[in-house]
Amino acid sequence: MNPVKRREFLQSLSKASIAAMAAGAPRQSSAGSATASLARYAPSADSMILLWMGGGMAHTDTFDPKRYIPFTKGVEAKSVLSTFPSIDSAVDSIKLSQGLENIASIMDRGTLIRSHVLADLGHILHSRHQYHWHTGYKPPLTVAAPHLGSWMSHILGSRNEALPSFIEIGQSYAGNGEAEELKAFSTGGCLGSEHGPFRISNPADAIKSVRPPAGMTFGRFQNRDKALRRMLAASPLAEYGSDFQKDSYLRSLDNAYRLLSSPAAEAFDLSKEPKEVYDIYNTGKFGQGCLLARRLVENGARFVEVSTDYEPFKGWDTHDNGHTRLKGMKRMIDAPITQLILDLEKRGMLDRTLVVLASEFSRDMMTEGKPGKEVRAQAKVQDKIQDLKFYGMHRHFTAASSVLMFGGGVKQGFLYGATADERPCTTVTDAIGVMDLHATIYRAMGIRSDYSVDVEKRPFYVTNLGHGKVRKELLAKA
Amino acid sequence: MKPFLLGILLLLLALPCAQAVEPFDRVVDLIERRCGECHTGNAAKGGFSMNSRQSLLHGSDNGKVLQSGKDQVKNKNHLLLDLLNSQDDDEWMPPKGKRLTAEEITLFKQWINDGLTWKAGFVFNNARKAATAYLPVKLPPGTQQNPIDRFLNLPTNQACSDALFIRRATLDLTGLLPDPEQVENFVKQTASDKRAQLIDQLLADKIAYADHWLTFWNDLLRNSYYGTGFIDNGRQQITAWLYQSLLDNKRYDQFTTDLITGAPGAEGYIKGIVWRGVVNASQRPVIQAAQNVSQVFLGTNLKCASCHDSFIDGWKLDEAYAFASIFSPTGKLQVVHCNRVTKRSAQAAMLFPELGRINANAPLAERRQQAAALLTSDKNGLFARTLVNRMWKNFFAYGLVEPVDFMANPSWNEDLLNWLAEDFKQHHYDLKHLMRRICTSHAYSLPAIGNPNLKETSADDYSYVFRGPYIRRMTAEQLLDAVGKITGTWNQASARDKDPEKKFRGQGGQYAELLKIQRRLIAEDEKLQAVHQGKSPIELTMRASAAKENDFMRILGRPAREQVVTQRDGLATTLQALELTNGKTFDDLLRQGAKTWLAKKLKTQDLITRIHLQALGRKPTQKERLIATQMLPSPTPSEQALSDYLWVLLALPEFELIY
């Protein structure tokens, strides 16, 4: 055997042995030995919910309030650091921005990072920063980088064989000006489409995605499946001998049927929720998404992302009217996120569920990009603000951003990092980039930050070059 | 099957292009990162080279560095560990950068305890590069008509059935299922060369051929109708040029020249994908051009060498930059090492200097002309071999060289590869000639076999022996077109796809371009007019290859075309099965399909036969007919019953797989 063949052989062998090791984990509900041996760390969380504040959430108007200057005609823009007053939280040392009273009341359950520094990618394009945040890699690149959720699906598999392991809620693509850029990272990438997201654009319709097609009764659905089984048994395919592709195909059909006929499918049905609970969550699509995420995690989902639905110039992407629009955005997230945490706690699941709230960068009234390296501004600023619509954080700011974490082994009532109290309100201590934040998240999930797969004969890591460093300070037991 | 085995299958299904990294690979990675600069390749500081296990055990000028044997960490005599742990500034290793972490040192320790395991044949930085020369091969003697068969020594008494053959060949060459009449006629024919005749007919169907191969080349050339980069005018489609080239069966050397020189309509290939903002030096458009040209046309991977000297083959950073300089406005580039600018400057040069020289001072357009001429020259056997190998892989699912983008690897049949490359050149780089050669071989007529590469679990020695084509999975496009044939409902073009006015920064409009070209072709060609007369307007039968990617196609494996893609996922996924089981898109198609079949007013038994023939390319067996009859009450089945029956047939693996 020549060296090359031998090497290929060994590679295919390693593929198989890894597969064999991990066989128990994903959909075979038995043995979880693989998880431990592959992941190396004992996980402090089994599931993760990512709450995605798409569009750039201003830190000074949400989780890192600074000097508040109310709007008056002619107010000097550069004097305004926050457009809302601060409020107390359950933790003495932590103040939040007005409008987040509910979250403030549960700050004792979570860790607040105020020193998240985002990549310096030049002229801002939201989806490019979102790509970086979700994959850990800056596009373009020569490998199709997998989404955080795809890595978890690939390494940890699903916790419940009937549920897809990576579920994405709330992001819409149709008619979205950056749809193609968003799709570029909402993907299993080099891990294959099996690890791509199960997309639910509208949580209110989620149940449709796990029910027989519209207009088909369950009885008919079952009969159709039975007929298929009979047809398979009658098939002369056997004449072609054993065939791996056929077997795996049938396996995938089994999985699909299992989900569609499983009690777990009820998790997708928001109407099954008591009205009083539903009403607390129901601030719209995002709130419903939080409720759906809770139901899915309760039923064994591995990774769920709930997005505020990024669309250029909408949601958190406040190029104008920032102050006014943020009132609405805070109303949209405050109650459901709080209820999500309380519900998980009540069910005894918070300890094993990591909830992370993040955004691709922050915003500021004056600085576009980062201080000292400013780039072409995309929002107009009045030096003396005459009109309320100019009152708000309208420029894209990458030098500091807030991240909120709950459960899953992170510290409680903990504040990490700080930003300056004067403009440009940039990170002053404990700067943490996407790579180390990811390493810490992976660590909580039990995954090494230098876990890698072989793509075109070179290793491709969960964090860039495997260099992500776990910030143990954030973890309760590290 | 045991649940455990099923688990393995399932996991593999999840690993189309990636696999978890073994401990040895971690060690390799660690050595590359922290020791490689001084102790691998040509470097052997202190007389110590870690290139191979042998050199590793040989030690350094200061004696042994590592001891072999199991559980040797307790043996204190490991210079390597001493130096890694040393507190002496003058001796600790590695001298540059941070100290190794405790985890990294543990990795070395584990490796020592494991007895310094080494993958057989592995050498760091082995200077492997593909050869470019043509290697003349004499055709072996023999009675077989098709030269391919003389190289393969195959049993002549085996061949797949006619029904399977027509399904396989029609899907392979036109991407479509054969119609029931075509299958029946073909099976009935008695001519001894009927398979060859069929191949000729299929290749002559220009439009179907171009519609089908559009997918293959779109993947390879990263041609996407929508995608990243367009938003800032950082990308350009080459759809119209590509489609016309396929219709014309443009010579492959000319086809390549067009792409490299940026002929009208083909400019987008070298332009690459440009995202807004600052990009990593190794992803600037000129470097993308170098990476893509070398990968697509030379089966040579420059992705590693775009940042640093490659660890997996012999390519150097400076060589990659010299090749990229061909596409730079000045013919020069400042070399950037892992995103840090160096003091070195690269001058435009071919990747394989033996192919000839580039005048670095010539204007850009001229340099690109020179590069195209050298690349496609009759001296460059690698150019022909790379393409021949891609085609072979396409028809047999296993290349003559694997992986297909690593042509430096030896082939399991060098003579066949070289002969086919020479034959391709002799026939003026005619792609259809090459396809005809392959598809008229007995090798291609053999029964399909399971692909062990998708499930290799045996510890037995494995090396490839050709026994026939591997069973393949339809591409997303083939599957959707097959569903179109069966249900009579094809992909619908969106307004933006078919209206050039609605193109948005270069996105969309692709179907309008294809229609324009098709109409012109039909107007000029009487034979085509005859074929298309009385048929539905082609607008109604838009092939999936021309359609915008949607969720359904994505789940079936159509790639985003951000990277060069030379292989689709070989295995179905659960998300796909879900989409087929309850997806609205598919359900609507089935209902529409039931209506279409009912409108034909066939007797139930005829209906069963026809649908079966259309979907699977064969008549139902007795047992199958019985099940079908129970599902479809006579005399006229309801639309609902028929759509359920269609679902059953389309959910069979036999439908999705190409045998």
What is the greatest pairwise CA distance in chain B? 93
C-alpha span between A138 and B348 (Å, rounded) = 28
Same domain, B232 and B103: no
pLDDT at A28: 24
Q: Report B:566-605 residues touching A (Cβ under 8 A).
A: 569-578, 580-584, 587
Alpha-carbon distances of A349 from A48, A352, B530, rounded to whole Å? 11, 6, 69
Classify A86 as helix, strand or coil: strand
Cα B300 → chain centroid: 14
Which of A164, A443, A133 has its CA nearest to residue A303?
A: A164
Among candidates B11, B461, B559 on the partner chain, residue whose Cβ is nearest the Cβ of A9: B461
Asked whether residue B224 falls in the same domain as residue B371, the answer is yes
Interchain pair A214, B291: CB under 8 A: no
Give bridge partners of residue B470 from the DSSP assignment. B449
Does residue A28 sit at the B interface (CB-CB below 8 Å)? yes
Q: Flag if B580 and A256 touch (Cβ within 8 Å).
A: yes
Q: Which tokens is A219 given?
A: 């009885």
Higher pLDDT, B592 or B58: B592
Using alpha carbons, list the distances in angstroms from residue B12 to A16, A248, A253, A466, B456.
Answer: 7, 9, 16, 24, 10
Cα B307 from Cα B317, distance rounded (Å): 6
Average pLDDT, integer, range B502-526? 88
**CB proximity under 8 Å: A 318-337 to B:** none
Query: Is A212 touching B (CB cutoff 8 A)?
Result: yes
Question: Which of A81-95, A288-302, B50-64, B540-554 has the least mean pLDDT?
Answer: B50-64
What percentage of chain B reaches a pLDDT higher than 70?
Answer: 92
pLDDT-based confidence at residue B525 (cuts at 50, 70, 90): confident
Please tell me the distance in Å from A165's CA to the nearest CA on chain B. Answer: 11
- Which pLDDT does position B339 carry in this prediction? 87
Amino acid at the residue A205: D
| Amino acid at position A106, single letter | I
Taking the alpha carbons at both ends of chain B, their separation in whole angstroms is 22
Compare all CA atoms of chain B with the CA of A207 and give the residue at the minimum distance: B582
Query: Which of B19, B228, B403 is facing A18, going by the closest CB pair?
Result: B19
pLDDT attached to residue A360: 98
Residue B600 lies in a domain: yes
Q: How confident is the model at residue B573 (pLDDT cuts 50, 70, 90)?
A: confident
Half-sphere exposure of B56 (CA within 13 A, CB side): 22
Residue B430: inside a domain? no
- Helix residue spans in B59-101 (DSSP H): 79-85
The total domain count for chain B is: 3
Q: Which two tokens stand for residue B239?
A: 């759809």
How many Cα neighbours within 13 Å face the side chain of B556?
A: 21
- For residues B326 and B367, the answer to whether their CB atoms sit within 8 Å is yes
Whether A114 has its CB under 8 Å from any CB of chain B: the answer is: no
Q: Which residues contact B284 (CB under 8 A, 6 or more apart)?
A: none
Nearest CA in chain A to B653: A246
Q: Which residue has the tokens 């810490």?
A: A440
Residue A9 binned pLDDT confidence (cut-offs 50, 70, 90): very low
Match 């029931």 to its residue by tokens: B180
Q: Distance between the two ends of chain A, CA-based, in angstroms?
A: 47
Q: What is the pLDDT of residue B361?
A: 96
The model's confidence at residue B2, banded by pLDDT at 50, 70 and 90, is very low
Chain A within 8 Å of B479 (Cβ-Cβ)?
no
For the ranges B5-19, B23-37, B97-111, the lowest mean pLDDT is seen at: B5-19
| pLDDT (0 to 100) of residue B40 | 75
Summarised one tens digit per residue, pLDDT across range B539-569 is 557 899 999 988 889 889 999 999 999 888 8
As a whole number of Å, the CA-based R_g of chain B is 28
For every residue of A236-299, DSSP letters joined together read GGGGG---HHHHHHHHHHHHHHHHHHSGGGGGG-GGGS-HHHHHHH-SSHHHHHHHHHHHHHHT
Q: Using CA atoms, how far apart are residues B608 and B624, in angstroms rounded to an integer?
A: 10
**What range does the domain containing B44 cover?**
23-113
Q: What is the mean pLDDT of residues B475-480?
A: 96
What's the pLDDT band for B127 if we cut at 50, 70, 90? low
Run of H or E residues at A384: strand A384-385
Q: Does A3 touch chain B (CB under 8 A)?
A: yes
User: Has residue B361 been placed in a domain?
Assistant: yes
Arithmetic mean of pLDDT over chain B: 88
Give kind and range of the element (H or E) at residue A303.
strand A303-307
pLDDT in tens, B152-211: 988 878 899 999 999 999 999 999 999 999 999 999 999 999 999 999 999 999 999 999
Q: Note whether B588 and B492 are within 8 A (CB).
A: no
Tokens of B530: 């005859």
Are B480 and B603 within one domain?
A: yes
pLDDT digits 0-9 by tens, B298-327: 999 999 899 998 877 789 999 999 999 999
CA–CA dist A128, A184 (Å, integer): 9
Are B243 and B370 contained in the same domain?
yes
Q: Are B484 and B620 contained in the same domain?
A: yes
Q: How many CB atoms lie within 10 A of CB A413?
A: 17
How far is C-alpha B220 from the geometric centre of its chain's CA atoms? 7
Task: Provide the H-helix boundaries in A106-217.
Answer: 126-135, 148-156, 179-183
Of B464, B575, B652, the CB nearest to A164: B575
pLDDT tens for B433-472 read 999 999 999 999 999 988 776 654 333 334 688 999 999 9
Whether the per-residue pLDDT at A121 is higher than 70: the answer is yes
What is the separation of C-alpha B179 from the centre of its chain, rounded to a whole number of angstroms? 28
Distance CA A81, CA A66 (A): 6
* Amino acid A237: pLDDT: 73
User: Is B335 domain-assigned?
Assistant: yes
CB contact (8 A) between residue A456 and residue B301: yes
Chain A CB within 8 Å of residue B161 CB? no
pLDDT at B98: 82
- B254 in a structural domain: yes
- Check CB contact of B10 with chain A, cutoff 8 Å: yes
How far apart, in Å, are the Cα atoms of A113 and each of A64, A306, B303? Answer: 9, 20, 36
Query: Which residues in chain A have Cβ-Cβ distances shorter than 8 Å to B653?
Result: 237, 243, 245-246, 249-250
Distance of CA B363 to the CA centre of its chain: 34
The tens digit of pLDDT for each residue in B595-651 reads 999 999 999 999 999 999 999 999 999 999 999 999 998 888 999 999 999 999 999
Q: Which of B56, B82, B113 is the last residue of a domain?
A: B113
State the pLDDT at residue A135.
98
| Minimum distance, in Å, between the CA of residue B104 and any CA atom of chain A | 11
Strand boundaries in A92-241, DSSP class E: 95-97, 110-113, 166-169, 198-200
User: Which candidate from A199, A213, A251 shows the least CB-CB separation from B584?
Assistant: A213
- At A105, which helix (H) or strand (E)? helix A101-105
pLDDT in tens, A166-201: 999 999 998 899 999 999 999 999 998 889 999 999
Residue with tokens 């899907």, as numbered in its chain: B171
| Per-residue 3-state assignment (H helix, E strand, C coil) for B495-559 | HHHHCHHHCECCECCHHHHHHHHHHHHHHHCHHHHHHHCCCCCHHHHECHHHCCCCHHHHHCCCC
B451, closest residue in chain A (CA to CA): A244
User: According to the CATH classification, is domain A32-211+271-474 in 3.40.605.10?
Assistant: no
User: What percent of chain A is modeled with pLDDT above 70?
Assistant: 90
How far is B23 from A156, CA to CA, in rounded Å? 19
Residue B10 has a pLDDT of: 39
Measured between CB atoms, does B624 come within 8 Å of chain A? yes
- Rounded percentage of chain B residues whose pLDDT exceeds 90: 61
A459:B631 CB<8 A: no
pLDDT digits over A218-256, tens only? 999 999 999 999 999 898 875 555 577 788 888 888 888
Cβ atoms of A284 and B604 closer than 8 Å? no
Judged against a pLDDT cut of 60, whether residue B125 lies above it is answered with: no
Domain boundary among B78, B113, B148: B113
What's phi and psi for A97, nearest 5 deg?
-90, 145
Query: How big is the A-B interface in CB pairs under 8 Å?
Result: 344
- The span from the CA of A303 to the CA of A354, in Å, is 10
Lowest mean pLDDT among A330-334, B24-28, B204-208, B248-252: B24-28
Question: Does B1 map to a domain?
Answer: no
Question: How many alpha carbons fall within 13 Å on the CB side of residue B134?
Answer: 20
Q: How far apart are CA A459 and CA A428, in angstroms?
A: 35
Arithmetic mean of pLDDT, B135-146: 91
How far, in Å, are B14, B66, B68, B109, B110 from residue B113 at the CA level? 32, 11, 9, 6, 5
Q: How far is CA B520 from the centre of its chain?
A: 31
Out of B70, B94, B113, pick the residue that ends a domain.
B113
Q: How many Å apart are CA B299 and CA B394, to the nearest integer? A: 15
pLDDT value for B121: 60
Selection from B394, B277, B3, B290 nearest residue A370 by Cα: B277
Q: Are B18 and A212 within 8 A, CB to CB?
A: no
Instruction: Name which of B226, B551, B631 is nearest A199 (Cβ-Cβ).
Output: B551
Exposure string for A193-205, b = 16+ CB within 10 A, e = fewer: bbbbbbbbbebee
Q: How far is B525 from chain A (nearest CA, A)?
A: 38
ipTM of the complex: 0.86
Average pLDDT over residues A45-49: 98
- pLDDT, tens digit (0-9, with 9 covering 90-100), for B379-438: 999 999 999 999 999 999 999 998 899 898 878 899 999 999 999 999 999 999 999 999
- What pLDDT, on a 0 to 100 scale, did the predictor assign at position B327? 98
- Residue B115: what pLDDT? 84
Q: Assess B16–A contact: CB distance below 8 Å, yes or no.
A: yes
Asked if residue B592 is part of any domain, the answer here is yes
What CA dihedral angle connects A118, A123, A126 and A132, to 10 degrees? -50
> Is there a domain that residue B156 lies in?
no
- The alpha carbon of residue B272 and the mean position of all alpha carbons in its chain are separated, in whole angstroms, by 19
pLDDT band at A20 (very low <50, low <70, confident <90, very high): very low
According to DSSP, the residues that pair with A415 across neighbouring strands are A112
Q: Tell me the pLDDT tens digit for each residue of A358-409.
A: 999 999 999 999 999 999 999 999 999 999 999 999 999 999 999 999 999 9
Question: Shortest Cα distance from B110 to chain A (angstroms)?
Answer: 14
pLDDT at A27: 25
- Best of A141, A143, A194, A223 to substitute, by most chain B Cβ atoms within 10 angstroms, is A194
- How much is the pLDDT for A12? 34
Tell me if A43 sits within 8 A of A445, measured CB to CB: yes
Q: Which of B7, B563, B571 sits opposite A143 (nearest CB)?
A: B563
The tokens for B440 are 């008229």
At A6 the pLDDT is 30
- Average pLDDT of the residues of chain A: 89
Q: Let me know whether B222 and B368 are in one domain.
A: yes
Phi then psi for residue B472, to 5 deg, are: -120, 160
Nearest chain B Cα distance for residue A388, angstroms: 31
